[in-house]
């Protein structure tokens, strides 16, 4: 081998790689700080689950073959990393592997590794062929034609081929020409060739070659492999395959709260933030270093857009393209940021870099984050940009202004007088907190705005209350003291309004010393359970399906007859993906229905959004097809006669979708509580 040549090649490759990585890190240091160094043990576990086990690639029902292909290539890279070290070391001294403890000729792990390495080189090679086949012939819509992708796949395939050529030639030189090139040769374990079945087949293919030709393949295989490896290394930081470097760190630094972390609390009282126009994100430097690490790590695989309800219904939102646009804008501004401490401001973040229609199309369902194999968090960036548009520039869609006014004046987006909030409960003998002894109350029933003011969802509130009464639960409502939780305001960027409403609710709940809350609205559930603690509001919060399932399990309720028809449960995003509850509603359906429930193709954590989240309930849907109509079509395709829901937004959207798609009379929409109540009646 040639120590001088390998030293020069290694130095140039590592120097270039280090420089490019340093440049990426130096950009992160220009951005907003964020603490992501807590709970180290949980972060390591998440790296193992998402990074090493590749849960999101091989755990999805859809495109399992593609997920398996990427997973095997990734695992191959991990396993073959040691092989790369051995081959580089071989360039300095023959028999480098003998220096490595546990991997030399006297230790069994060395032979086992040879077998593992040999098998995985073959697997990776065939996975690369499959990847070429997919991109050239199958051409999934989410994967654009990309020279970089073909280049990287070609380099990976070349690494596998050249290593097989090197080993095959080496085995020939040892066997046929008696050269002393053995790495592993033991009277106990045998030779390296005995443990490398695929490389042995290559050696058999070369068996007819002469000594000179075999040496040619030996040197060609070695130096081609080393050359490709050391060229491959500095290419990564500057290409879309940066994720090879940043994926595991990005998973390590990802959020660790409930399935999806709450929106960070913004200091709306900070006068400097108002003066500097730094509320939310108005410039690229307002994103945190972790949010930009997300941009670096985007694999451009397009999985996010295949599950995005807005993309599927032809809205102008593609998370992959949004990431790409923000990343290129950042790179364009880097030199100005380093000189002046901020971006030039020549391009508006929303308007020039990201179109307003793109920003406001998002339903915040977080299906994109659920499938992202490298744990990219898209929604917080969208909310940050919305905050700037709403609070600083008042550039929110005009139709939402009436909802803001209604919440400001009457504590609900409809603007109906707050004194009518408890009218739905008249004649039902439901206690109010202001006329009850808090110690005598087991649970507060949080009705929510829809349950209080929307005719259809008032029926859900009544059904929930009647179930609690039948179970003997001591409960009360706040009545006129209850206000909107502020979810709508927060998701539309009006953080100040959210904090005002949430703060008032927290004061009320704490004054009554409320400990346990049950609500039929997942948006209220998410706000009170996961976001109110930011404002010192800490409560035990249940979705009504969870609480009713608990009552049924404890035999406080008795099912008197089963409901007929084919029922399919539509998983609300804020119950499922935000709060990881998929089982309680299905347990209730199993208990009260005759026939086995039907699962739509898009269900549980892969559920399809109804289209109302992220303040979209209050915005016109004028681009593409309607999300709720697409969801009803999916239910119809599954053969459902009843779509069970667990969210007032979903109830409204699904009901409207049934009418719009001509399924009125064929499909009906009922809340889970209504089905349970029906089964309780004799």
Kindly report the three-state secondary structure assignment for every residue of 540-604.
EEEEHHHHHHHHHHCCCCCCCCCECCCEEECCCCCCCCCCCCCHHHHHHHHHHECCCCECCCCCH
Where among 395, 420, 442 does a domain terminate? 395
pLDDT in the model for residue 67: 85
Please tell me whether residues 179 and 66 are part of one structural domain.
yes
Question: Tokens 């003997």 label which residue?
Answer: 472
Gap between the Cα atoms of 335 and 87, Å rounded: 39
Nearest-angstrom CA–CA distance, 511 and 553? 32
Give the Cα separation of 468 and 515 in Å (integer). 17
Domain boundary among 196, 228, 244: 244
23 in a structural domain: yes
Residue 637's Cβ-count burial label (10 Å; 0-12, 13-18, 19+) is exposed
Which residue segment(s) compose the domain that 645 sits in?
Answer: 567-680
Tell me the pLDDT tens digit for each residue of 189-239. Answer: 999 999 999 999 999 999 989 999 999 999 999 999 999 999 999 999 988
Tracing tokens 């359970």 back to the chain, one arrives at 529
233 and 276 share one domain:
no
Q: Are residues 409 and 520 in the same domain?
A: yes
Q: For residue 171, what is the domain's CATH number? A: 1.20.950
Distance, in Å, from the CA atom of 351 to the CA atom of 674, rounded to the nearest integer, reads 45
User: What is the structure's pLDDT at 301?
Assistant: 86
Looking at the domain assignment, is residue 258 inside a domain? no
Is the residue at 257 inside a domain? no
CA distance 635 to 456: 21
Q: Could you tell me whether strands 190-191 and 185-186 are parallel, antiparallel, or unpaired per DSSP bridges?
A: antiparallel
Whether 165 and 303 share a structural domain: no
Integer Cα distance of 206 and 199 in angstroms? 11
- The helix (H) or strand (E) run that includes residue 645 is strand 642-645
Helical residues (DSSP H) of 93-196, grouped into ranges: 108-133, 147-175
The secondary structure of residue 51, as a DSSP letter, is I
Q: 669 - beta bridge partners?
A: 643
Position 49 in a domain: yes
CATH code of the domain containing 314: 1.10.1060
Same domain, 494 and 576: no
- Judgement on whether residues 159 and 118 belong to the same structural domain of the protein: yes
Residues 490 and 546 placed together within one structural domain of the fold: yes
Q: State whether 50 and 80 are in the same domain.
A: yes
Q: Which of 468, 419, 459, 423 is nearest to 441 (CA)?
A: 468
Quote the CA–CA distance of 108 and 332 in Å, as a whole number.
Answer: 53
Tell whether 362 and 447 lie within a shared domain.
no
411 and 384 assigned to the same domain: no
Cα distance between residue 652 and residue 449, in whole Å: 13
Q: Which of 338, 320, 304, 324 is nearest to 29 (CA)?
A: 338
Nearest of 645, 562, 561 to residue 600 by alpha carbon: 645
Buried b (16+ CB within 10 A) or exposed e, 374-412: bbbbbbbbbbbbbbbbbbbeebbbeebeebbebbeebbb
- Residue 633 maps to which CATH number? 3.40.50.10700
Can you tell me the distance from the alpha carbon of 540 to that of 538, in angstroms, rounded to the nearest whole number? Answer: 7
Smallest CA-to-CA distance from 154 within 224, 201, 58 is with 224
Which pLDDT belongs to residue 264?
86
| Selection from 411, 384, 379 nearest residue 283 by Cα | 384
> Cα–Cα distance between 151 and 284 in angstroms, integer?
30
Residues 648 and 676 in one domain: yes
**CA distance linking residue 544 with residue 531, whole number of Å:** 19
pLDDT in the model for residue 640? 95
Output the pLDDT for position 61: 67
Name which of 420, 411, 415, 410 is nearest 452 in CA terms.
Answer: 420
Other CB atoms within 10 Å distance of the CB of residue 628: 27
How does DSSP classify residue 350?
B
Please give the C-alpha separations between residue 72 and each of 66, 76, 101, 120, in angstroms, as whole numbers.
10, 6, 27, 8
Instruction: Kindly state whether residue 256 falls inside one of the protein's structural domains.
Output: no
**Is residue 534 included in any domain, yes or no?**
yes
Determine, yes or no, domain membership for 542.
yes
Contacts (Cβ under 8 Å, ≥6 apart) of 622: none
pLDDT for 218 equals 95
Question: Do 284 and 329 meet the contact criterion of CB atoms below 8 Å apart?
Answer: yes
Q: Is 671 helix (H, G, I), strand (E, B) or coil?
A: strand
Q: Whole-prediction pTM value? A: 0.91
Domain boundary among 395, 426, 458: 395
Q: Are 63 and 143 in contact (CB under 8 A)?
A: no
Dihedral angle at the C-alpha atoms of 490, 378, 359, 609, nearest 10 degrees?
-80
- Regarding whether 548 and 486 lie in a shared domain, the answer is yes
266 found inside a domain: no
Ranges in the chain, pLDDT < 50: none
- Count up the domains in the chain and report the number: 4
């Amino acid at each position: 081998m040639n120590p001088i040549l390998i030293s020069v090649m290694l130095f140039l490759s590592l120097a270039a790689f280090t420089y490019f990585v340093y440049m990426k890190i130096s950009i992160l240091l220009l951005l907003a700080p964020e603490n992501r160094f807590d709970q180290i043990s949980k972060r390591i576990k998440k790296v193992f689950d998402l990074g090493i086990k590749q849960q999101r690639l091989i755990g999805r029902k859809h495109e399992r073959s593609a997920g398996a292909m990427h997973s095997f290539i990734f695992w191959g890279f991990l396993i073959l990393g040691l092989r790369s070290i051995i081959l580089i070391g071989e360039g300095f001294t023959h028999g480098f592997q003998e220096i490595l403890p546990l991997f030399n000729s006297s230790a069994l792990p060395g032979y086992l590794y040879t077998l593992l390495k040999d098998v995985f080189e073959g697997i990776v090679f065939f996975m690369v062929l499959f990847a070429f086949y997919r991109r050239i012939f199958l051409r999934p819509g989410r994967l654009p034609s990309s020279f970089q992708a073909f280049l990287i796949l070609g380099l990976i395939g070349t690494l596998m081929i050249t290593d097989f050529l090197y080993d095959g030639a080496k085995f020939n030189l040892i066997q046929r020409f008696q050269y002393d090139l053995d790495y592993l040769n033991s009277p106990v374990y045998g030779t390296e060739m005995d443990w490398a079945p695929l490389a042995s087949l290559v050696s058999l293919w070369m068996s007819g070659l002469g000594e000179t030709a075999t040496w040619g393949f030996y040197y060609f295989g070695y130096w081609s492999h080393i050359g490709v490896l050391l060229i491959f290394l500095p290419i990564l930081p500057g290409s879309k395959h940066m994720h090879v470097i940043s994926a595991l760190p990005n998973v390590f630094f990802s959020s660790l709260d409930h399935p999806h972390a709450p929106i960070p609390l913004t200091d709306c009282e900070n006068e400097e933030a108002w003066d500097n126009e730094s509320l939310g994100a108005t410039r690229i430097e307002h994103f945190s270093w972790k949010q930009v690490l997300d941009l670096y790590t985007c694999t451009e695989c397009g999985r996010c857009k295949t599950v995005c309800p807005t993309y599927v219904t032809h809205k102008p939102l593609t998370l992959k393209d949004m990431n790409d646009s923000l990343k290129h804008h950042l790179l364009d501004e880097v030199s100005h940021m380093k000189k002046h401490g901020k971006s030039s401001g020549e391009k508006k973040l929303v308007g020039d870099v990201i179109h307003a229609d793109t920003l406001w199309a998002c339903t915040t369902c977080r299906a994109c984050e659920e499938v992202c194999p490298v744990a990219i968090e898209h929604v917080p960036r969208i909310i940050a940009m919305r905050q700037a548009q709403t609070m600083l520039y008042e550039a929110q869609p005009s139709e939402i202004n009436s909802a803001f006014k209604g919440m400001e004046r009457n504590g609900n987006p409809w603007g109906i007088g707050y004194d009518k909030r408890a009218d739905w409960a008249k004649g039902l003998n439901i206690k109010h907190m202001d006329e009850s002894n808090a110690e005598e109350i087991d649970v507060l029933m949080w009705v929510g705005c829809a349950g209080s003011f929307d005719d259809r969802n008032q029926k859900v509130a009544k059904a929930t209350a009647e179930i609690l009464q039948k179970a003997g639960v001591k409960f009360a409502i706040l009545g006129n003291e209850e206000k909107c939780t502020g979810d709508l305001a927060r998701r539309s960027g009006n953080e100040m309004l959210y904090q005002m409403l949430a703060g008032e609710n927290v004061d009320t709940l704490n004054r009554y010393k409320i400990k346990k809350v049950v609500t039929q609205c997942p948006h209220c559930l998410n706000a009170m359970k996961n976001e109110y603690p930011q404002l010192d509001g800490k409560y035990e919060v249940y979705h009504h399906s969870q609480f009713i399932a608990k009552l049924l399990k404890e035999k406080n309720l008795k099912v008197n007859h089963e409901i007929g028809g084919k029922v399919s449960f539509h998983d609300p995003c804020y119950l499922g993906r935000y709060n990881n509850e998929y089982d309680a509603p299905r347990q209730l359906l199993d208990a009260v229905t005759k026939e086995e429930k039907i699962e739509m193709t898009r269900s549980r954590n892969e559920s399809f959004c109804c289209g109302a989240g992220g303040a979209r309930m209050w915005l016109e849907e004028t681009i593409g097809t309607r999300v709720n109509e697409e969801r009803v079509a999916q239910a119809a395709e599954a053969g459902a006669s009843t779509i069970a829901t667990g969210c007032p937004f979903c109830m409204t959207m699904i009901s409207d979708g049934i009418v719009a798609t001509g399924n009125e009379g064929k499909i009906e929409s009922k809340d889970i509580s209504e089905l349970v109540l029906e089964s309780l009646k004799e």
